[in-house]
A = this chain, B = another copy of it.
Amino acid sequence: MAEGLTARGIDVTQVEMLPEVLPTVDVDLGALVRAELVRQGVDVHTDATVTGISRAVQGLFVEGRDKAGALLVWNVDLVLVVVGVRPDTDLLVRAGAATSPRGAVVVDESMATGLPHVWAAGDCAVTHHRLLGTTYLPLGTTAHKQGRVAGENALGGRARFAGSLGTQVVKVFDLVAARTGLREHEATSAGFTPVSTTATPDDHKAYYPGATPITIRVTGDSQTGRLLGAQLVGARGAEIAKRVDTYATALFHEMTVTDLTELDLSYTPPLGSPWDAVQMASQAWVAEHQRDAERSTLGQP
């Protein structure tokens, strides 16, 4: 697997067709994740396409092309193929279920397919998104919640799926990247007027050892002030995974970015700040995007 030796002693090469790794976050935040991969010794190729995998006398070979079309060849021991998800709905389609353009089975919020006594949940089904309406967003957390709703209703219940926000997190060596809600281009497509601000507040008070900055991009609607999404990248140990949950819970309740700064969140110097990092990033958004008149309604009655 080419040059590059990780901390774990395995040579790893990553070949990504898109311009940056982790395309679920904005490209400059994905670049932070790539930097961590490189720092850990991974040989990262972006804008590169795998064209074939073949077995020869000398072993297993992966062939690809870089952006300029030049040939790339790696002699490897093991290939992990990660190329996305496609719903396998053949059984349901043959039974008469409707599918969406992405091929996922259409269900309502009770996870009913429209076929009598048939409910569907998980990666095969469309997702109700609280900001986007019906979409396709296969995630484990969503599958669990949908499955519970479908199971409840199959037994005669009246449960409804509360909806996804696209909340997700990934650990990449010693870095954690998370997001919830919408990024700007997604929000624009959904009819919002998104504006974003990026801040780098410390995870806890700098005078207590070990403080580390978190890169937080807050996206909100410039017309209504409503929070639309957040992306966070920072060190493992900076409680990124559960900080994104505060944004997710705020999104669930359609809070404005300003209102988020009023939440009574926990604080102790080794673990936070009197205004938590999620609030400092929100305040940065407010300072940049809210007109003075709107700012003076802080803590609206």
A residues adjacent to B (C-beta < 8 A):
109, 130, 139-145, 148-149, 152, 157-171, 176, 178, 180, 237, 239, 241-246, 248-250, 252-253, 259, 262-268, 270-272, 274-276, 278, 296-301
Contact = CB atoms under 8 A, between A and B. Distances in A.
A137 to B, nearest CB: 10
Copies of this chain, whole number: 2
Interface centre among A145, A152, A158 (most CB of B within 10 A): A145
Nearest to A267: B141
30 contacts: A109-B299, A139-B267, A140-B267, A141-B264, A141-B265, A141-B266, A142-B264, A143-B274, A144-B275, A145-B262, A148-B298, A149-B298, A157-B296, A158-B297, A159-B299, A162-B263, A165-B264, A166-B264, A169-B266, A169-B268, A171-B270, A239-B241, A241-B266, A241-B268, A242-B243, A242-B246, A242-B266, A248-B263, A248-B266, A249-B265
A158 B245 contact: no
Give chain A's interface secondary structure class. loop
Contacts of A157: 296, 298
Given A145-B262, A264-B164, A267-B169, A246 B249 contact: yes
Nearest to A262: B162
Given A130-B264, A248-B264, A252-B264, 4 more contacts: A166-B264, A180-B264, A248-B265, A249-B265
